[in-house]
Amino acid sequence: MMMRSAAPLAIVAAATAALTATVVFAANWSDQDVDPEGDYPEVPVAYSEGGRYFTEDDIPTFNIAEDGTVDWLTFNGFRRYHAECHVCHGPDGEGSTYAPKIKNSAIHMGYYDFYDVVVNGRAVGNSVMPHFGDNRNVMCYLDDIYVYLKARAVDAVPRGRPAKKEAKSDMIREEEDGCMG
């Protein structure tokens, strides 16, 4: 009698465990450490164009000169991040009790998935990432935020406001004007 009633419960417990595992997996890019010396394909600069830097897979990335001068996007990403994301994700992408440590996510989840979450948002129960797809103050600068977070993840820039930056290029200025309308 005990055995017969216990069996369905065990099935429910197993199903619940599987569901929990899936949910945790969806959010755990941020829990995976980033090794500053690590070999991440989305980090090294392969070429630059008009003040923007790209990997060999054409993914935007940061560029830090020997003297610590950061590229314009990284500098601007610092500002934009602290205007739009920091309230939930904590200073410098470090995470908070409410929202994940997205400097790690920027390295682990990949550019396109990162974009997708910011454009469309995501909700897991009460844990809600808003969608920003219609917010130009985010969308026009999402590459900036993304490269800044990657630079933080591998400790290429210290916490806080970068001290020295490249000038904003004409191309970046034109693209910004076009995007902001």
Please say which residue, 46 or 93, places its beta carbon nearer to ligand HEC: 93
Query: Cα–Cα distance between 36 and 144 in angstroms, integer?
Result: 20
> Which of these segments, 6-14, 41-49, 56-64, 82-90, binds ligand HEC (CB under 6 A)?
82-90
**Distance of closest approach, residue 60 Cβ to ligand HEC, in angstroms:** 14
Residue 83 as a binder of ligand HEC (CB under 6 A): the answer is no
Query: Cα–Cα distance between 93 and 22 in angstroms, integer?
Result: 24
Using CB under 6 A, pick the residue from 145, 147, 156, 157 that binds ligand HEC. Answer: 145
How big, in percent rounded to 5, are the helix, strand and coil portions of the chain? 50, 10, 40
Identify residue 120 by its one-letter amino acid code. Answer: N
Using CB under 6 A, pick the residue from 71, 84, 92, 144 that binds ligand HEC. Answer: 84
| Helix and strand totals (H; E) in the chain | 8, 5
Using CB under 6 A, pick the residue from 45, 51, 110, 117 that binds ligand HEC. Answer: 117
| H-run or E-run covering 118 | helix 111-120
100: left (phi over 0), alpha (psi -120 to 50) or beta: beta
**Distance of closest approach, residue 7 Cβ to ligand HEC, in angstroms:** 33
Query: Distances from the Cα of 95 to the Cαs of 62, 91, 115, 120, in angstroms?
Result: 21, 7, 18, 20
Please say which residue, 45 or 88, places its beta carbon nearer to ligand HEC: 88
**Distance of closest approach, residue 29 Cβ to ligand HEC, in angstroms:** 4
Within 26-45, the residues that bind ligand HEC by CB under 6 A are: 27, 29-30
**Distance of closest approach, residue 56 Cβ to ligand HEC, in angstroms:** 23
The CB density around residue 71, as the number of other CB atoms within 10 Å, is 28
3-state secondary structure of 169: coil
Residue 103 as a binder of ligand HEC (CB under 6 A): the answer is no
Q: Which residues bind ligand HEC (CB under 6 A)?
A: 27, 29-30, 84-85, 87-89, 98-100, 102, 105, 109, 114, 117-118, 122, 124, 127-130, 132, 138, 145
